[in-house]
């Protein structure tokens, strides 16, 4: 074998070895990231209410250009005007296996009644059967309830309403329905102009 081709073979081998080392390092880093993501996934599986709450808080912070607070703080999101929001998220629930579905939001004043906020934002997963009743430009159904009205809408520490808003008859549900957000702009505009007293 000529010296030139021996040199070329040695260079090729060196390059392949470098690529192998780089690929092994990349695999190692990806395996570490995968392990971290699995830990997070398992944590949220063990604490579904927390995961559900974080989903709502993240969504509201994004919609309002607000900042999420820490876990166990007296409210969940602070909007640019300084208004404090408490956010609750609900999946579609099927009470007693009826065709009727509903949203349930628990502990709207906090487990120790220690929440301090100007607005309660109730987020509900859309029920596709009643899409025409919900705002088309929002991903979920939102109720923006002033704190002063929360006591008139809750039962005990919870709030619930059927997803078919057209059939709402109960006084507390009718009161809640007044705070349905019908379009994205009215939601963000209201929070942009609210004054904190």
Model-level pTM?
A: 0.69
Please tell me the predicted confidence (pLDDT) of residue 28: 86
Exposure b/e, 135-154, CB count within 10 A at least 16 = b: beebebbbbbbebeebeebb
What's the token pair of residue 91? 């999946």
User: What percentage of the chain carries pLDDT values higher than 90?
Assistant: 40
* Residue in the structure block whose two tokens are 């057209």: 166
**Per the structure block, which two tokens stand in for 13?**
């081998």
pLDDT for residue 51 is more than 50 = no
Q: What is the pLDDT of residues 153-163, one digit of tens each?
A: 999 999 999 99
Residue 128's alpha-carbon distances to 101, 102, 165, in angstroms, are 11, 13, 13
pLDDT at 131 (0 to 100): 94
The SS3 assignment for 88 reads strand
Q: What is the pLDDT of residues 102-123, one digit of tens each?
A: 999 998 988 778 889 999 999 9
Q: Which is more confidently placed, 87 or 49?
A: 87
Six-digit token string for 144: 């923006």
Question: In the predicted model, what is the mean pLDDT of the chain?
Answer: 82
CA distance 52 to 43: 12
Q: Is residue 194 a contact partner of residue 83, using CB atoms and an 8 Å limit? A: yes
- CA 72 to CA 50: how far, in whole Å? 11
**What is the pairing mode between strands 84-90 and 119-124?**
parallel
């Amino acid at each position: 074998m000529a010296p030139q081709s021996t040199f070329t073979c040695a260079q090729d081998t060196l390059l392949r070895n470098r690529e192998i080392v780089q690929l092994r390092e990349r695999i190692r880093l990806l395996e570490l990231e995968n392990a971290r993501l699995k830990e997070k996934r398992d944590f949220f599986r063990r604490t579904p209410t927390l995961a559900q709450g974080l989903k709502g808080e993240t969504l509201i912070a994004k919609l309002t250009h607000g900042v999420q607070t820490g876990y166990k703080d007296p409210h969940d999101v602070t909007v640019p005007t300084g208004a404090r929001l408490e956010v609750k998220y609900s999946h579609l629930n099927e009470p007693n296996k009826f065709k009727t579905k509903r949203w349930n939001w628990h502990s709207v004043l906090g487990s120790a009644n220690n929440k301090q906020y100007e607005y309660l934002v109730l987020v509900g997963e859309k029920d596709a059967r009643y899409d025409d009743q919900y705002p088309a430009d929002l991903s979920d159904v939102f109720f923006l309830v002033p704190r002063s009205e929360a006591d008139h809408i809750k039962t005990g520490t919870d709030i619930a309403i059927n997803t078919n808003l057209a059939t709402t008859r109960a006084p507390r549900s009718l009161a809640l329905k007044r705070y349905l957000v019908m379009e994205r702009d009215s939601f963000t505009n209201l929070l942009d102009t609210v004054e904190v007293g």
